[in-house]
Amino acid sequence: MPGLGTSFGRGGATTAQQDLANADAILIMGSSMAENHPVGFQWVMEAREKGAKIIHVDPRYTRTSASADIWVPLRAGSDIIFLGALVHYVLENNKQFHEYVLHYTNAPTILREDFRDTEDLDGFFSGWDAGKKKYDPETWLYQGSPEKEVAGSAPGHSEAGGGHGKDRGGEAQDTGKFESDPTLQHPRCVFQVLKRHFSRYTPEMVERYCGVKADVFLKVAKTFTSASGPDKTAAICYAVGWTQHSKGVQVIRTAAILQLLLGNIGRPGGGILALRGHASIQGSTDIPTLYDILPGYLPMPFFETARNLGAYLKKNTSRTGLWSAFEKYFVSLMKAYYGDAATKESDWGFNWLPRVTGDHSHFGYWLDMADGKLDGLFVMGQNPAVGASNGRLERTALSKLKWLVVRDMVETETASFWYDSPEVNRGELSPETIGTEVFLFPAAGTAEKEGTFTNTQRLLQYREKAIDPPGDARSETWFMYHLGRRLKEKGKDDSRPRNEGLRALTWNYSTEGKHAEPVGEEILKEINGYSLPDRKQLAHIKDLKKDGSTACGAWIYCGVFPKEGYNRALERNPKDALGHNWGYAWPNDCRIIYNRASARPDGQPWSERKKLVWWDENKKQWTGNDIPDYDKETPPYAPENIQNGKGVEALGGAKPFTLHPDGVGWLFVSSGLKDGPLPTHFEPLESVTDNGLYKQQSNPPADKKVRPDNPYAEPSGDPRFPYVLTTYRLTEHHTAGGMSRQLSHLSELQPELFTEVSPELASELGLQNGHYATIITARSEIEAKVLVTSRMRPMQINGKVVHQVGLPYHWGYRGQVTGDVVNDLLVISEEPNVRIMETKALTCNVVPGRRARGKEFLGQLNSRTGQTA
Amino acid sequence: MLKHLLSKWPLIKQIQTGADGTGPESFSERTRNLRPKNDGADVARSICPYCAVGCGQLVYHKDGKLISIEGDPQSPISRGHLCPKGADTYELHTHAGRLKKVKYRAPYATKWQEIELETAMDMVAERVWETRERTFQETKDGQPLMQTLGMAHLGGATLDNEENYLIKKLFAAGLGMSCISNQARI
Amino acid sequence: MSITGFLTDSTLCIGCKACEVACKEWNGVEADGYDWSGYSYDNTGAVGASTWRHVKFVEQTPVPGFGGNAGELASWTFSSDVCKHCENAGCLEACPTGSIVRTEFGGVYIQPDICNGCGYCVSSCPFGVVERNQKDGRAFKCTFCYDRQKVGLQPACAKACPTESIKFGELDQLRLRAQERLEELHSRGMEDATLYDPLDSSVGGTHAIFILRGDPRTFNLPPSPDVPTIYLKKSWTSSAIAGALLLGGTLLAFWAENKNGRRRNAR
């Protein structure tokens, strides 16, 4: 989400699914929306039926392509070239929405003289440290910005960690003294830098490296750009087809730049809709079970930079914009966590929070687990034994644990790895030699517990409980509450510093029913926040205080439970198309965020057709069809005072991107990203071709985690692995199958693992439809039935024929239907900002027939890969 | 009585009404009394557990048992529709493979055994406490660290906000676990 | 009571199969096996005793620059098949037990408590919809969610369908909507769009009608379905003729015998 977060300010979809119906064109890329979000896709169909053009760019012709007007087959992993060429097309043909770009983006901002672009340094920005393999981003700052004064740390970049902490839109740089050129002519202004940066992203490059004919590209460019402007808007939908790359954040950044240039953010029918794949994937970063952030995208304290509360607050508090109130959000969270013990004298409990000292993400700690450095692991509602990259390593690492707790509705492959994993079946591991103690707890289903999911459009929807879960099945709320109760009991008389936080932790939730289930709404009320000491629910983020007189578990959710008995997430009376009064969207129930941009700087709509919120001079307030994502009473003519002012007030009345200290959308991200201020094409970590745009082959700071049990193919053109491999989901199953392969009515619809290949590749390799093939990567090999289809097609890449091989990844070794684990083929790799793995573009080989069984498996794999892993 | 019985005989009915034997005169008792299975059931307003579209669901239940789960027509997002996965949510809750007891596997054991829930909770609390005691680091270079890297958590994108809130609160803010991760990335 | 119908518009179908699952979940129909067909994404094959809604997948070679909604060509099309609930229903006419009835909504309903599994309906269905189940041999097919319709609910498949490709409503209204839709599709360049509604055939029209692109036979829909009972008249006539001829022959034989006898007697 730093892709969206750094560009606009918030790490969430900018619009609502229903609003797609208002679009004049929709680009779906990095997503097969009809397959994976079929019910959301009805809004795309509605737009289509109203005349909008639907464009689907995808390596495969999918069920989404089948409903689109234009399908563009693209080589997997070349997205930035394609999107960069769209940006280039806009700039080259003057298609940008000039007034919007001038007033609502940082296009006029002038950059420092010592900034160097990838154009100048052949794939690197200035500041690259080859030894540390990371950027010092100081030269990316605006001209005039003071350097940061945090000891031992470059601005925006901590020693360790991912990028979730930057979701809020970069570090808190003081942008007070920057210079800008409203004529957009200054050679170092962002607009001109952008023009130069994208100059080589031409239709010819698209043809050569994406495999898309120039005329097809131009058809897309014309269709999309002509559907944007004052009285038209175009939307973009994406999913993990964009994110699961070694440069995933930058793919999304390219889309953000395109939408900012075309003036499509904050307006009806526009926006970028991130399509998330789990019921509350948005919620689980808003209220994170992640290592580097606290609820509401407050960064976790990093050991190197957050030596004390003062340094932490200084680093994260900006002078202008909404992050100027950082201290209110943080102190209120500490009050929610530690209650009365959180005082000014105790630094609000800041020193009870664990420090981040390295890569504590899934892959980061998993490799430590593989090396025997971890005792225990909790897995709740996830199935890494088949769902995560390099499954052989994932499962083997589980056998190094002392104890493992799995909570799920069924016995997953993660819980059963010790007796029925492929490694056990092949004789590489056996139960007698695995010392891991395993606890498998039955979990409640959604109908058996109450609680909120936050959906793909930032909408909190509360579920009522229908029935009790069966037997000893319980909710995670129950499990955590009763585990916490026991642990607090163990620490209650122990006064060592380590237990201060645990003892202070507020944990007195009421319970109900025969299972002593914690009351769900009580937790939501804490998340919403309340005043102290009288415990009145808070109605608005503005009510938060930094003096300890408010508690709030997630400031961005403040308002969801604004008064006793009023749970807005449970509202079910929609009064308009955007769904107000059905659920609660963060922030402040805005359904389309940054919607101040739907009006001109003077406060009136850009056009009657595309009006959303506007200034009502008579009532002296913002009004319209959505809740204004702006201070309701700040008039459009309120002057800005970003140079010297403080708080969000300093932004004045015409800066829609209020989380950014300069109040505008960022075409150029001067702070907050680890791999550059502008998107640049790099090849996947495993590719069939050289990078035709720059000498640098792959994203420089990507973390490859190379080790003997996580080997790679050669970066380019490895003769052992001549084909592009891409993985994906099918409508009929869900992720790694834990919620679908056990169900008969879904299993019968897609009962077996298959691989999709073109007729040309099938004939070249002697593959027959319905027969088996074995797919091989540097990590493993698996077998799958062959589906020969012209929906897959070979393409010409830089003069060579390139074949792509498709594999849906839903199967595993348990359930009504079983199959080989596709994720065994993938490599553990980390994109530098969020540490996501590359699953959409790798290299592989394919041979007809089945894989070897038993002890012969490794021998065959090694002979085919030429390694001894 | 006899007349009543006779009048129920389809042939007599047909003769009486001139029907051809394919309409209501041939309806069985079951057919005549047919009602939808969720008739008179209680209903809970819910949300689909699969992807993040967030479709509204109506969960019909009676006497503590699920009857059916279907789309909520009032939802402004889904308008009562569901995809095949969402349409299978009833089976998700009721299929035979659902776990109902805690399964425990001792180190080096070759089989599961069932244990009581409260026992399992006590055992897990002990494991956590023991690991934390052994691996906790209060300071480093004289600065607070307050961290254990000895145990980790994975999962959250399928869970409720309230659940994730308690996980982060207890594991990070209470126990000092740094290694907390889930499916969500971008 | 109004006569209801399904209008299944394949130009809106995204091939998600929600209709198949929603039907099975509501009606408690069991899965019919885990067999991977190797034919596109279709693994349930056809409508039968345990699949009352079935999505057919038709693959053609796609062309870059054109999606499936491009007027010029169809490339991967999906259509959800179902019992047609014929106006002149072969199954209903053939059923000797009175198990199959027509409901007040015009649907054709098999009463499972009456059916004895004789199977006459199976061979009498011009669409191959009715099938006996493996377990006890009784015949099953789409009930038109008669139980739901009775209380004013729409059938489970139509309710679930994410893109409203399956429409449920009054049949007359649906026929009007279908005509409008067809005109619209033609104006968008989809010249090959047609309405499948065999009013002129001997089934006398169906209560499930379809908007399709191309030849209906691609979707297992016979252009001119016949209800088997139309052959009854023909077979009755030929039987009558045969009978008459036989009778005539016999009489003739007797007459000749008589004549000979008389002659013999006269001799």
Partners of chain B (3+ Cβ pairs below 8 A): A, C
What backbone torsions phi and psi does residue B45 show, to the nearest 5 degrees? -85, 120
Q: Is the model's pLDDT at A167 over the cut of 70? A: no
- pLDDT tens per residue across span A745-775: 999 999 999 999 999 999 999 999 999 999 9
pTM of the model: 0.95
Determine the average pLDDT of the residues in A40-51: 98
B-facing residues of C in 77-136 (CB < 8 A) are 92-93, 98, 100-102, 104, 109, 111, 113-114
B12 and B53 within one domain: no
Structural contact between residues C254 and C246, judged by C-beta atoms closer than 8 angstroms: no
B27 and B62 within one domain: no
Determine the average pLDDT of the residues in C120-138: 96
CB within 8 Å: A67 and C59: no
Q: Is the model's pLDDT at B105 over the cut of 90? A: yes
Could you count the other beta carbons within 10 Å of the beta carbon of residue C159?
25
- pLDDT tens per residue across span A262-281: 999 999 999 999 999 999 99
Residue A822 domain-assigned (yes or no): yes
Residues of chain C in contact with residue B82, where contact means CB-CB under 8 angstroms, are 18, 22, 160, 162
Residue A162 banded pLDDT, cuts 50, 70, 90: very low
Residue A153 banded pLDDT, cuts 50, 70, 90: very low
Residue B57 domain-assigned (yes or no): yes
From the candidates A253, A346, A446, which should be mutated to test the interface with B, based on the most B CB atoms within 10 A? A446
Question: Domain C4-86+142-219, what fold?
Answer: Alpha-Beta Plaits (3.30.70)
Q: Cα C173 vs. chain centroid, distance in angstroms?
A: 20
Determine the average pLDDT of the residues in A416-431: 97
Q: Position of tokens 């109203």?
A: A50
Q: What is the CATH number of the domain that holds A841?
A: 2.40.40.20
Structural contact between residues A101 and A109, judged by C-beta atoms closer than 8 angstroms: no
B64 and B110 within one domain: no
- pLDDT tens per residue across span A362-401: 999 999 999 999 999 999 999 999 999 999 999 999 999 9
Q: Where are the beta strands (DSSP E) in A264-331?
A: 272-274, 293-294, 298-299
Residue B37 domain-assigned (yes or no): no
Q: Name residue C201's amino acid.
A: S
Please give the structure tokens belonging to residue A518.
């914690």
Q: What's the pLDDT score for residue C72?
A: 78
Q: Does A140 touch chain B (CB under 8 A)?
A: no
Q: DSSP string spanning C18-34?
A: HHHHHHHHHHTPPP---
Q: What's the pLDDT score for residue A150?
A: 36
Which range (A544-548, A642-646, A819-823, C180-184) has the least confidence? A642-646
Please give the structure tokens belonging to residue A25.
């064109």
Q: DSSP string spanning C201-251?
A: STT--BSEEEEEES-GGGGT--SS---TTHHHHHHHHHHHHHHHHHHHHHH
B167 and B139 within one domain: yes
Gap between the Cα atoms of C78 and C80, Å rounded: 7
- pLDDT tens per residue across span A319-328: 999 999 999 9
Number of structural domains found in chain A: 1
DSSP A605: B
A-facing residues of B in 74-133 (CB < 8 A) are 74-79, 81-89, 91-93, 95, 97-110, 112, 116-117, 120-125, 127-129, 131-132
Gap between the Cα atoms of A17 and A577, Å rounded: 10
Residues of chain B in contact with residue A498, where contact means CB-CB under 8 angstroms, are 132, 136, 138, 146, 176
Gap between the Cα atoms of A785 and C171, Å rounded: 43
CB within 8 Å: C162 and A752: no
Residue A782 domain-assigned (yes or no): yes
- pLDDT tens per residue across span C12-39: 999 999 999 999 999 999 999 999 999 9
Number of structural domains found in chain B: 3
Determine the average pLDDT of the residues in B157-169: 98
B175 and B112 within one domain: yes
Determine the average pLDDT of the residues in A816-844: 97
Q: List Cβ neighbours of A510 (8 Å cut-off, separation of 6 or more).
A: A518, A519, A522
Residue A365 domain-assigned (yes or no): no
Q: What's the pLDDT score for residue A259?
A: 98
Partners of chain C (3+ Cβ pairs below 8 A): A, B
Question: Given C40, C62, C163, which is nearest A65 (Cβ)?
Answer: C62
Q: What's the pLDDT score for residue A148?
A: 47
Q: Are strands C139-140 and C193-196 parallel, antiparallel or unpaired?
A: unpaired
Name the minimum distance, in Å, from the CA of C100 to any CA of chain B. 7
Q: What's the pLDDT score for residue A151?
A: 32
Residues of chain A in contact with residue C16, where contact means CB-CB under 8 angstroms, are 34-35, 38, 63, 731
Q: Is the model's pLDDT at A807 over the cut of 60? A: yes
Could you count the other beta carbons within 10 Å of the beta carbon of residue B134?
10
Determine the average pLDDT of the residues in C84-88: 97
Gap between the Cα atoms of A806 and A661, Å rounded: 44
Q: Is the model's pLDDT at B10 over the cut of 90? A: no
B175 and B106 within one domain: yes
Question: Given A384, A419, A455, which is nearest B52 (Cβ)?
Answer: A455
Residue C266 banded pLDDT, cuts 50, 70, 90: very low
Residue B127 domain-assigned (yes or no): yes
B151 and B176 within one domain: yes
Residue C238 banded pLDDT, cuts 50, 70, 90: confident
Gap between the Cα atoms of A745 and B88, Å rounded: 7
Q: Please list the residues that pair with A154 across neighbouring strands.
A: A157
CB within 8 Å: C43 and A749: yes
Q: Is the model's pLDDT at B90 over the cut of 80? A: yes
Residue B119 domain-assigned (yes or no): yes
Q: What's the pLDDT score for residue C73?
A: 77
Question: Given A42, A65, A213, which is nearest C67 (Cβ)?
Answer: A65
Q: Does A650 touch chain B (CB under 8 A)?
A: no
HEC string of A788-834?
A: ECCCCCCEEECCEEECEEEEECCCCCCCCCCCCCHHHHCCCCECCCC
Q: Is the model's pLDDT at A484 over the cut of 80? A: yes
Q: Is the model's pLDDT at B148 over the cut of 90? A: yes
Domains in chain C: boundaries: 4-86+142-219, 229-267
Determine the average pLDDT of the residues in A446-461: 98
Q: Is the model's pLDDT at A176 over the cut of 70? A: no
Residue A773 domain-assigned (yes or no): yes
- pLDDT tens per residue across span A330-368: 999 999 999 999 999 999 999 999 999 999 999 999 999
Q: What is the CATH number of the domain that holds B57?
A: 2.20.25.90
C-facing residues of A in 127-146 (CB < 8 A) are none
Residue of C nearest to B25 (CA): C101
What domain range is A831 assigned to?
723-865
Q: What is the dihedral of CA A480, A486, A490, A492, to 10 degrees?
A: 80
Residue B138 domain-assigned (yes or no): yes
Q: Is A236 left (phi over 0), alpha (psi -120 to 50) or beta?
A: beta
Q: Please work out, in degrees rounded to the nearest 5, the angle formed at the alpha carbon of residue B70 by the alpha carbons of B64 and B73.
A: 125
Residue A834 domain-assigned (yes or no): yes
Mean pLDDT score across all residues of chain A = 95
B156 and B88 within one domain: no
Q: What's the pLDDT score for residue C241?
A: 79
> Which carries the bigger pLDDT value, residue A117 or residue B17?
A117
B177 and B106 within one domain: yes
Gap between the Cα atoms of A167 and A672, Å rounded: 8
CB within 8 Å: B39 and C101: no
Could you count the other beta carbons within 10 Å of the beta carbon of residue A794?
18
Determine the average pLDDT of the residues in A437-456: 98
Structural contact between residues A203 and A214, judged by C-beta atoms closer than 8 angstroms: yes
End-to-end CA distance of chain C: 79
Residue B162 domain-assigned (yes or no): yes
Question: Given A219, A732, A748, which is nearest C65 (Cβ)?
Answer: A219
ipTM: 0.96
Residue B186 domain-assigned (yes or no): no
Determine the average pLDDT of the residues in A657-664: 96
Structural contact between residues A284 and A684, judged by C-beta atoms closer than 8 angstroms: no
Name the minimum distance, in Å, from the CA of B31 to any CA of chain A. 27
Structural contact between residues A29 and A79, judged by C-beta atoms closer than 8 angstroms: yes
| Cα four-point dihedral sign A491, A493, A494, A497 | positive
Q: Does C69 touch chain A (CB under 8 A)?
A: yes
What domain range is B28 assigned to?
2-32
CB within 8 Å: B27 and C151: no
- pLDDT tens per residue across span A538-586: 999 999 999 999 999 999 999 999 999 999 999 999 999 999 999 999 9
- pLDDT tens per residue across span B114-128: 999 999 999 999 999
Q: What's the pLDDT score for residue A146?
A: 62
Determine the average pLDDT of the residues in B26-43: 97
From the candidates B43, B60, B82, which should be mutated to test the interface with C, based on the most C CB atoms within 10 A? B82
Q: What's the pLDDT score for residue C229?
A: 77
Please give the structure tokens belonging to residue A142.
């605006």
